[in-house]
Amino acid sequence: MNRLPLFPLPETVVFPGLLIPLYIFEERYKQMVRDLLAQGEEQRRFVITLATQAGIREVGGYVDLLAASENPDGTFNIVCRGGERCQVEGVGVFENNLYQTTLDLPFPLERTARSEEIVAAWDAMEAFRGYVAGVADPGALEEAIANLPDDPLYQASFLCVNLRVPALDRQALLEAPSLVGRLELAQTLMRQGSISGSTAEA
């Protein structure tokens, strides 16, 4: 079975369409970037998963390396794009790698009728407008919403990364069984605040 590089990060949860700038300074991850750059552009994929005090989470997100710039000291500035979620299993260091890898195990989000997803996305976006009222610039917010893709999947990603919640709550959003469930959980977070107490580290 195919394996992919694994990059555990604190405070980072990947959602589809999310652009992620990263500064790479650890030797093992500098090697990871070099190995990815040695692949064809369609093969520069790795996995980011949330690192917590209890260990790494078993659900992460695919990430595609879009651009990399090596600095004079050998560090890298890279830009990645988040993809769908995946399972994190069979973690280990193999061959001459310094970094860990994980089995390539897709974990697709359940999709339901498009009409149901559109309604759920509309409801969640309306709740978000109220959630950021008085904080976000209304004009900039509406422009950002207008520029989102039509697919409710990416609208959900926009909400998930813009909620002022702890990383464990974002992880709960990532692990929701369906897109509608993700949007409904986002609304719960907006109504009630953090649900960290119900998303204990495991």
Do 118 and 181 reside in the same domain of the chain?
A: yes
Counting every residue written for the chain, the total comes to: 202
Q: Is residue 22 part of a domain?
A: yes
Residue 202 lies in a domain: no
The alpha carbon of residue 119 and the mean position of all alpha carbons in its chain are separated, in whole angstroms, by: 23
Domain that holds residue 125: 114-197
Burial class of residue 96 in the structure, from the number of CB atoms within 10 Å of its CB (0-12 exposed, 13-18 middle, 19+ buried): exposed
Domain count, the chain: 2
User: Each residue of 139-173: pLDDT tens digit?
Assistant: 999 999 999 999 999 999 999 999 999 999 999 99
Residues 148 and 62 in one domain: no
Check whether residue 99 and residue 123 sit in a common domain: no
Task: Read off the CATH number of the domain in which 158 is found.
Answer: 1.20.58
Is residue 29 included in any domain, yes or no? Answer: yes
Percent of the chain residues past pLDDT 90, beyond the cut: 87
Closest listed residue to residue 36, CA positions, set 51, 48, 54: 48
Q: How far apart (Å, rounded) are the C-alpha atoms in residues 95 and 116?
A: 47
pLDDT digits (tens, 9 = 90+) for 85-108: 999 999 999 888 899 999 999 999
Amino acid at 191: R
Distance of CA 112 to the CA centre of its chain: 21
